[in-house]
Amino acid sequence: MSSPTAGGGPVRDPAQRGAVSLRGVTKRFGDTTAVDQVDLDVRPREFISLLGPSGCGKTTTLRMVSGFERPDEGRVIISGADTTDVPPHRRRVNTVFQSYALFEHMRVAENVAFGLKVKRQDRETISTKVAQALDLVRLGELAERYPAQLSGGQRQRVALARAVVNQPEVLLLDEPLSALDLKLRQAMRHELGRLHTELGMTFIFVTHDQQEAITMSDRIAVMDQGRIHQLGTPTEIYERPASRFVADFIGETNLLDVTLVGTEEGAATVRTPSGEVIGRVQVEGARTGGECVLAVRPQRVVVVAEVAPEPQDCTLFGGVLVDLLFLGDATRATVRLPDGSELVAVRHNEAGTHPFGMLRPGDRVKVGWLHEAACLLDR
């Protein structure tokens, strides 16, 4: 059992430096269970995102890692040591907040130096570390400015420099990009990726923006109602959602209510409400029968003219094209099936060609997908 030391945080196993584990962590506020029995293992130097809708418990989870909230149940283990009862300033973690929380009356360099001064480091060390941190976020030139003289993106960089200057083992980022406009947000995603690589720190990033999570993370924990629904790489989460909630929350998905007819060698045969039988649907885990939902991404949906030959490895069935929508870089087609449900297909627009050929709204079409593109989930 490790114990807190005066140097800041408990004694640890070096191989665990930067690892974070939550074990059965629960946090209640009155009648609200904000975080409900969460288990999570973040690997050293991993970039992990907590992703989910507003109120799902992301920030509360992060605050239990930082120490600003204490769990009602469960343990928080940081860098191999049980840290549940260690106060925030003794944990080797730092947080970047959405609001930046800069000291407006201090210059940029003074903002970054603040934590080091509190820790009574000597003047030379402070000056070297501040210069390094500002160089890291490419703000060396602006060290003498006040926060009011900076753009939103520059202010966020100061907040980042201030958070990393103490060389924490884990950096916690609570929606740090959400106050920035779209262009800046996209630029800052690259910056954060670069920082993560250069610093070799564990990053735990809270966001409700799936694009942010998908483009930056090694793994994503998708949360809803205080629980983690799925933990996986962006590809796993996108291609193999573990539940209807995840499929619906990450990207656009077609969800068709179907009945399972049978399974063989990891693939299922299902029947749609209008009676079409669809084979070779991917199944994760055993499903024995009954009502399910079939999930398929719009990018994987095939729409062809009624008279077109059936492509290989693809089951097609009949429908009517009810809408074609030009989205700029892509076109979106909506096909209505005989039972009234709709399937959406999205295709990138190539110069000079129409992604859905000569098809027009009102045409009878065939619609389907490559067999491996659909998966079956609980309803």
| 168 is a site residue for ligand ATP (CB under 6 A) | no
Q: Does 55 bind ligand ATP (CB under 6 A)?
A: yes
Q: How far is the CB of 227 from ligand ATP (least distance, A)?
A: 12
Sequence-separated (6 or more) residues with CB below 8 Å from residue 55? none
Q: Does 60 bind ligand ATP (CB under 6 A)?
A: yes
Written as one string, the DSSP assignment of 69-80 is S--SEEEEEETT
- Which of residues 178 and 215 has its CB atom nearest to ligand ATP in the complex? 178
Structure token digits, residue 26: 């629960």
Q: Does 57 bind ligand ATP (CB under 6 A)?
A: yes
Which residue reads 């070096």 in tokens? 14
Residue 17 CB, nearest approach to ligand ATP (Å):
27
288 is an interface residue for ligand ATP by CB under 6 A: no
Q: Of the two residues 45 and 219, which places its CB atom closer to ligand ATP in the complex?
A: 219
3-state secondary structure of 376: strand
| Beta-bridge partner residues of 323 | 334
What does DSSP say about strands 170-174 and 202-207: parallel, antiparallel, or unpaired? parallel
Tokens representing 243 are 């539940």
**Is 54 a binder of ligand ATP (CB under 6 A)?**
yes
β-strands 170-174, 93-97: how paired?
A: parallel
Cβ-based nearer residue to ligand ATP, 17 or 63: 63
Selected binder of ligand ATP within 21, 49, 59, 210 (CB under 6 A): 59
Tokens standing for residue 188 = 């800052």
- Regarding 49 and contact with ligand ATP (CB under 6 A), the answer is no
Cβ proximity to ligand ATP, 55 vs 152, nearer residue: 55
* Among 13, 29, 323, 372, interactor with ligand ATP by CB under 6 A: 29
Dist CA 234 CA 237 (whole Å)? 5
Who contacts 86 (Cβ-Cβ below 8 Å, separation ≥6)?
4, 9, 10, 67
Q: Which is nearer to ligand ATP, 57 or 168 (CB)?
A: 57
Strands 277-283 and 374-378, by their bridges, are parallel
CA torsion angle for 21, 197, 199, 130 (degrees, to 10)?
Answer: -140
**Whose Cβ is closer to ligand ATP: residue 57's or residue 71's?**
57
- Cα–Cα dist 367/138, whole Å: 51
Stretch that binds ligand ATP, among 53-61, 133-141, 290-298, 318-326 (CB under 6 A): 53-61
Among 58, 91, 227, 229, indicate the residue that binds ligand ATP (CB under 6 A): 58
The mark string for 176-215 relative to ligand ATP (x by CB under 6 A, - otherwise) is --------------------------------x-------
Contacts to ligand ATP by CB under 6 A: 29, 32, 34, 52, 54-60, 208
